[in-house]
A and B are shown apart, each in its own frame.
Chain A
């Protein structure tokens, strides 16, 4: 039995909220200063919504440059873009968490590291057991670590976490694969990578996982993607505790407060209508700078109100184009090996997985994507993906700085222009 203040398991908290019909909302919050981090967690907890807390780590910690993190701490810590959990002594992090986390408020650590062993040890040391990432999604978009090194690091890290499986709070790992570079990746690919990373975690001993998917340019297509992810999770992750988490749009964000809220409300509605249990919000400051605590709380409450107003979807998780595409990609990968990590490596080497606009040397770079007239993200060229080649479109022409920026600004234009009229 848990004592009243014993920290709750992340997965258990989310499923209890689902049973009560409440969408769990979560910020992407992280500050270099411990006092501010603590105040931010307390404010998240006090928000009028079903919330979980976040400690987002800074970029030095992400790339393993703890010496640079220490120098920034010595200068006050305010210039860091997140909380340096490895460079700070455990007792300072325990002070950040004391009296804040508890049986009604789990806290997750968010990072972005292709070698998170130190990070996982540091969070376990302070009794935290929920975090996120993945061997592919925290490698290709996050720097220059070779994919093979990232896969080896993630095997080790997942096992460090999984060594605590079966003890409370139950370790929980969320995939970042549903985001990748944040924009211009067709949903079938995001769903496939998210599912495969979830499978990687489960095969390495984690019993409670969440599968991410990031909002893209079309609400219809997003609903299809969330349902496809649910269906694939049912098929491939039987026996594990799982839920789906939606990320509010991760690409170039609207610049006006009203435009920013409009994207956020749309994301909350997608969760409820398509059956995602948790939403990571974005704030009005997204296009400009790291958000304040107040901006985060407003975003959490805006999302919660939008979710309450949306009727839950019905109709299960039917067949769809996104499901068929994701399933073909997943099967294509798993044909390479019984070991998910090896299968991922071989699939990328053959271009059977391939991310548009990714500069990483281990990405084949043969695919192209575009946004169609209805706002759907589609393949312009499927390269070597195990998918039917696309019907020949009119030549999309060369990418220029102007047309790239215009494509990236699709959501900004749509949502900001509603305000500008």
Chain B
């Protein structure tokens, strides 16, 4: 996908952060916004764009050995798509135990119910962010999980 941003921030020259939409979600403003936010926090971002098939997602995570993987979805299918993606990634050989987080409007009711967020964590996500949780995400980015991975 094309990058619309020309980051002026000093970014980490080491490993990249993979940013991805889900297989059924075509929204991109969320991805543009998150790419900027990540770059501002010093991440070098590979933005896979919208409608990313599970296979492509896993392949990119395997070959790029990212320090962090960020999944974003707002179309209401994020819960189901997100579960499928993390299972595929955690089952794939050679992807290690890379930290993976997901966020956005993950259900058709907007924000996800707590039990469903628990399901995502149980399936292998390291954190789940609700719509509007960008401050918590910024805190997470400066926290131990992401720093240890870099």
Interface residues of A (CB under 8 A from B): 58-60, 62-63, 65, 68, 72, 78-81, 112, 141-144, 181-183, 252, 288-290, 357-361, 363, 365, 398-401, 404-405, 408
Contact = CB atoms under 8 A, between A and B. Distances in A.
B26 A143 contact: yes
A197 B115 CA distance: 45
Contacts of A65: 23-24
B149 to A, nearest CB: 22
A63 B54 CA distance: 13
A401 B40 contact: yes
A365 B8 contact: no
Interface string B18-50: 000001111011011110110010000001011
Nearest to A182: B29
Contacts of A360: 1-2, 49
Contacts of A79: 76-77, 79-80, 107-108
Contacts, number: 109
A400 to B, nearest CB: 6
Interface of B: 1-8, 23-26, 28-29, 31-34, 36-37, 40, 47, 49-52, 75-77, 79-80, 105, 107-111, 131
A59 B108 CA distance: 12
Main secondary structure of the interface of B (DSSP, over half): loop
Nearest to B107: A79
Contacts of A72: 80
Nearest to B84: A68
Contacts of A143: 26, 50-51
Nearest to B76: A81
Contacts of A62: 24, 26
B29 A408 contact: yes
Given A60-B77, A112-B26, A401-B40, A359 B108 contact: no
B32 A63 contact: no
Contacts of B29: 181-183, 252, 357, 408
A359 B26 contact: no
Contacts of A78: 108
A144 B24 CA distance: 11
